[in-house]
Structure 1
Amino acid sequence: MFSLTVREIASAVGAQNATDKWADVEISAVGFDTRKLFSGSLFVPLIGDNDGHAFIEKAIENGAKAAFWSRPLDEAPTEIPVIQVEDTLKALQALASYYLKKIHPKVIGITGSNGKTTTKDMTEAVVSSAYRVHKTQGNFNNHIGLPMTILEMPEDTEVIILEMGMNHADEIRVLSDLAEPDIAIITMIGESHIEYLGSRAGIADAKMEIISGLKPDGVLIYPGEEPLLEERVHSLVKEQLKTFGTTEKNDLYPLTIDAQMTETTFTTNAEPDLSITLPVLGTYNVTNALAALSAGLVLGISIEQAAPKLSVFQLTKNRTEWLTGIHESMILNDAYNANPTAMKLVLTNFSALPNTGRKIVVLGDMLELGQQSRELHKSIEEVLSAESIDQVFLYGNEMHVLYAALLGKFAEGHLHYFTGDKEPMIHQLKQLIQPKDHILIKSSLGTDLLTVVQELKV
């Protein structure tokens, strides 16, 4: 249970006004959305498209017991304590930093172009085999979500796992400096946000910002087969570096992998005789699990101790989940996020799965690829073969270049392209799908193929 007094909060954020009258008032939660407040909350009126100060009466009505305030004090309510600050967002972050130091858990920060959320979920499973754990919920992983995750941490938390997302340079630096991780994990370097960062090298620079706040004795866990990271880790000593990947050059790597429709089993060099089962599809998820297991090893958790928890870990919704589809089909829903590297990985794994029906893929635009968008969309052609995929449905303006590239590879009636209204594509899919078909649906969230998933699932 979160519990801070107004005195503590005012001191933590450097209040610009006197709060002695309210010093002993206890606050049990923090929130910025008036719809989600409850009795005992500190209201944080953030300023964005709307000014949160305008909703102070609603906040009080919904249980706010105190509030940050960056407008003139003569505009502030008088029935609850207000803590005047220059910037309410910075005050939120400062309060999170104070609370994190007060509870003093071990901190694991996770970033990467793909696999952040899955690795976070796996790391929670591994670490919970020995510690009380709190983690980022959903993808609440930005400059607002990360401090909120910290402030929602129970007071008995021993390890906190913080997902760190970004779109632009210097964003992860802010999050790392706030969190000061004991362990930092980079899952992979892909092409996400290349529109803003210019190149994969620029993306690697941005992801390496996670070591900005790394504790002096902290450890960086990263894919050892990524040259862009190998070139950038030299500011840390050897003892601070742990690698994972598919080959023997890494500290932790798989010896065997058996990927099935709903689970993947593997063994590692660290425990060759121990089979570890993941309740998810994909050889790429083995590398996510290796990152999680590496974090466990740093914390003194053996792979043998962690394996049972990994076998039952819960994947965040919309991350590569199997759903029952219409006409007794099965849908592999991966429509929450997409970049070229991730799309190729899931297509390769999907293509290799055994099944008695047909394989249908529905692929939507991958966003934020900038000037390289056409080239990167076209590159998906490498992993699409008429020998393993029966039907290909492409959606979105950016997918036209892939459609043109595939025209000679797929027979007439097996390659389909749509833009704009999704209903014609949904209608055609409903007419086409047969029992035992497997359907992969993958795109960036902004392309909104989740609408298609909703229409095709039972």
Structure 2
Amino acid sequence: MKLRNAINSISANMAALDPTLLDSEVGSFAIDSREVEKGGMFFALSQPDYRNNGFNGDFDDATVHVVGAFEKGAAVCVVRTDRFDEHKAQLEPFRDRIVRVDDAIAAFQQLAHAAYVEWNGPVVAITGSAGKTTAKELTSHVLEASGRKVLRNIKNYNNGLGHPLTVLNLPKDSTYDVAVLEMGMSTPMNEIARLCKITPPDVAVELNVLPVHVEHLGSIENVAKAKAELVEGMKVGGTAVLNADDPRVAAMSSLSRGKVITYGIENVADVRAENIVFERFGETQFTLVANGEKAAVVFPLNGKHNILNALAAATVGISFGMTISEIAASLRTVAAPPQRGEILHFAAGFTAINDSYNSNPDALLSMVETLVDGAGLSRKIVVAGEMLELGENAGEIHKETGRKIAASGVNMLIGVRGLGKELVEGSIEGGLVESQFALDSETAGEILQGIITTGDVVLVKGSRGVRTEKVIEKLLERFELEDKAAAAS
């Protein structure tokens, strides 16, 4: 994108800029001064920008890093006018390379929209309380199997800052055929609506509405309203892809301004999974049913929630004209994203399911069911971190989840951090005597190091803030993986 076009898109005055820069290409965009590249544009965000755009908390004033950004080779920096005036002594020598704006985040998002308009391709947007990243990866994989080149979010950058960063990559390679973008929330209400203004979705995928973010939004009904902003924000004539098994998602059909395609397992839906058979860890078989056709799928992920994610991806594929057989073939070759159902076989003869990226009650119980179904007579151990953002009823939700874990048939539970104690209390109430609490993930890993033995199967899962991946790290400190041990021999 030419600098002249970039400045025009954010309605900034270019009169004070060095005119020799205006026709240069801006090759990169950054909001972190450590990631500034030569010839790039740096947006210096400050506390008023965050506050004006709904971000809570204390943030650094990046204006102090503007000089450093220029030293790293930035072509121009975007700075709030009031912050420029406050730091004028330091910034005055660079005034002909500084774009002054009223709101740096708003300018950043406007520029991302301009990049989207310049590209002008179809957007698949995905939201839900859980499973966004897995569904994004599955959807991208399915569409790539049709020969399309897919842009997807950088990492899990899915909020009002990460989403624009991803979109600003579009002009670098105009050969992208479609963008598959997860949209999340880090601010109360209207954030997804703002993301839809940056990249209006052609296909809006709604995964689920769960009691996550309740502590910020007040109720699960408000969570549903926030997630529904995606369907409300899609293009007229677009396609809403809705989970028929979630009543709050199914109710969003009335908000669609275009076509609705449903998917599900339990309820009547346009795209369904039937004859689900759990074969082993890392393999689930089911029949994909849509448009009166059927195709057998051997799916490398486990858990009902992941089958629903696969159905969402399949439904998107259908909306792009793919056949059922093409979609089924693509689903056979997917791989679990890191920390999302990874199966680790250890040379000592035990298995770990690393599902440590995030957690909520439904997903935890789904993975516990997978553990029980697949482990047979083996000892089944669950290491479960507290689940965050469940609102004022979080304690009782944890206890009830613990009771359900006890009833599932697992042999041991280690609850980790905070409300993990309520998980343990609930499991003991449910009759699971071998339950204990660990203050943090490192301690849980040390406990596991001392008790795990040949034949055991352990599930590790927790909310992102609990960092339950450290449990896996503790296992890897002491035990070799099966394939590494074989290679060493």
Q: TM-score range by the shorter chain?
A: over 0.9
C-alpha displacement of 1:368 = 1.1
Hey, what does 2:469 align to over in structure 1? 450
Q: Which amino acid aligns with 1:72?
A: F
C-alpha deviations, 1:425-446, integer Å up to 9, x for none? 3333212100121111111111
Does the 8 Å contact 2:228/2:252 carry over to 1?
yes
Hey, what does 1:327 align to over in structure 2? 348
C-alpha deviations, 1:270-323, integer Å up to 9, x for none? 275421222212232111111111111111122222333322224332112122
Higher helix share: 2
Pairing partner for 2:255 from 220, 235, 238: 235
C-alpha displacement of 1:202 = 1.6
Hey, what does 1:365 align to over in structure 2? 386
1:212 and 2:232 are equivalent in the alignment = yes
Q: Distance in 2 between matches of 1:354 and 1:411?
A: 18
1:117 and 2:137 are equivalent in the alignment = no
Q: TM-score, normalised by structure 2?
A: 0.87
Q: Distance in 2 between matches of 1:316 and 1:424?
A: 26
1:104 and 2:101 are equivalent in the alignment = no
Q: Which amino acid aligns with 1:39?
A: K
CA separation of 1:225 and 1:273: change in aligned 2, threshold 3 A: closer
Pairing partner for 2:282 from 262, 283, 287: 262
Pairing partner for 2:161 from 132, 144, 164: 144
Pairing partner for 2:103 from 87, 92, 97: 87
C-alpha deviations, 1:26-59, integer Å up to 9, x for none? 1111112222222221111122422222112221
Hey, what does 1:185 align to over in structure 2? 205
What is the DSSP-based 3-state SS (H/G/I as helix, E as strand, rest coil) of the residue aligned with 2:233?
Answer: coil
Hey, what does 2:4 align to over in structure 1? 7
Q: Which amino acid aligns with 1:162?
A: L
Pairing partner for 1:172 from 163, 184, 192: 192
Hey, what does 1:431 align to over in structure 2? 450
**Is the deviation greater in 437-446 or in 43-52?**
43-52
Hey, what does 1:337 align to over in structure 2? 358
State the superposition RMSD in angstroms: 2.1
C-alpha displacement of 1:248 = 5.3
Hey, what does 1:23 align to over in structure 2? 22
C-alpha displacement of 1:408 = 4.5
C-alpha displacement of 1:328 = 3.1
Q: TM-score, normalised by structure 1?
A: 0.93
What is the DSSP-based 3-state SS (H/G/I as helix, E as strand, rest coil) of the residue aligned with 1:277?
Answer: strand
Hey, what does 1:133 align to over in structure 2? 150
C-alpha displacement of 1:411 = 5.7
Does the 8 Å contact 1:121/1:314 carry over to 2?
no
Q: Distance in 2 between matches of 1:136 and 1:112?
A: 15
What is the DSSP-based 3-state SS (H/G/I as helix, E as strand, rest coil) of the residue aligned with 2:460?
Answer: strand
CA separation of 1:251 and 1:76: change in aligned 2, threshold 3 A: farther
What is the DSSP-based 3-state SS (H/G/I as helix, E as strand, rest coil) of the residue aligned with 2:151?
Answer: strand
Q: Distance in 2 between matches of 1:336 and 1:76?
A: 45
Hey, what does 1:60 align to over in structure 2? 70
C-alpha displacement of 1:83 = 2.1
C-alpha deviations, 1:391-416, integer Å up to 9, x for none? 1111223122332222244464x221
Does the 8 Å contact 1:264/1:283 carry over to 2?
no
C-alpha displacement of 1:86 = 1.4
Alignment of 1:373-384 (within 5 A): 373-384=394-405
- Structure 2 residue runs without a partner (length 5+): 48-58, 481-489
Q: Distance in 1 between matches of 2:246 and 2:300?
A: 27
CA separation of 1:59 and 1:328: change in aligned 2, threshold 3 A: farther
Hey, what does 1:348 align to over in structure 2? 369
CA separation of 1:38 and 1:437: change in aligned 2, threshold 3 A: same
What is the DSSP-based 3-state SS (H/G/I as helix, E as strand, rest coil) of the residue aligned with 1:25?
Answer: coil
Does the 8 Å contact 1:179/1:213 carry over to 2?
no
Q: Which amino acid aligns with 1:135?
A: R
Q: Distance in 2 between matches of 1:230 and 1:449?
A: 33
CA separation of 1:76 and 1:133: change in aligned 2, threshold 3 A: farther
Task: Provide the identity percentage.
Answer: 28
CA separation of 1:266 and 1:64: change in aligned 2, threshold 3 A: same
Q: Which amino acid aligns with 1:183?
A: V
Q: Distance in 2 between matches of 1:176 and 1:321?
A: 32
Hey, what does 2:60 align to over in structure 1? 50
